[in-house]
Amino acid sequence: MADVLKKIIPLILLLLLVIVLGFVGFVVYSIANDIAQKTSQHMEKKNVSFTKDGLKVGIKEMKNENYVDKTQSYLVKAWNYSTWPAYKSRFWNKQATENNGQQQSRPEARRGHTNHGKTQ
């Protein structure tokens, strides 16, 4: 009887090791599969999809009116934040020409903003 137990104990240990490794492998596989699925769903929201052929990137539709509005807003921002210290126009910034060039053209003055307590 003791001889049979000596032969069965390594077999039981081997089966337990296989079961534990199988369980760990299953958990790792299920976690990796879940992460891949969530990542795929997240990327599809951003118009990127993974297919058997490879990666496909979609382009979001943008209406022409939205495109023009965004472009115009960037141009207005660029205009408002630009300065031309050597340029004197006869149409705007007349207070700078009246002061004989002592005051430079500032974007705040062109936009009609106040200095808000800032010193020069």
Question: Tell me: the pLDDT tens digits for 5-62?
Answer: 888 999 999 999 999 999 999 999 999 999 999 988 888 888 888 788 887 877 777 7
If one compares 89 and 37, the residue with the highest pLDDT of the two is 37
Record the tokens describing residue 1, joined without a space: 């009887």
Alpha carbon distance 112, 110 (integer Å): 5
Q: What angle do CA 70, 72, 74 make, to 5 degrees?
A: 70
In the chain, the N- to C-terminal Cα span, in Å, equals 100
**Domain definitions of the chain by residue range:** 2-57, 64-111
Alpha carbon distance 101, 89 (integer Å): 12
Tell me what pLDDT residue 30 has: 97
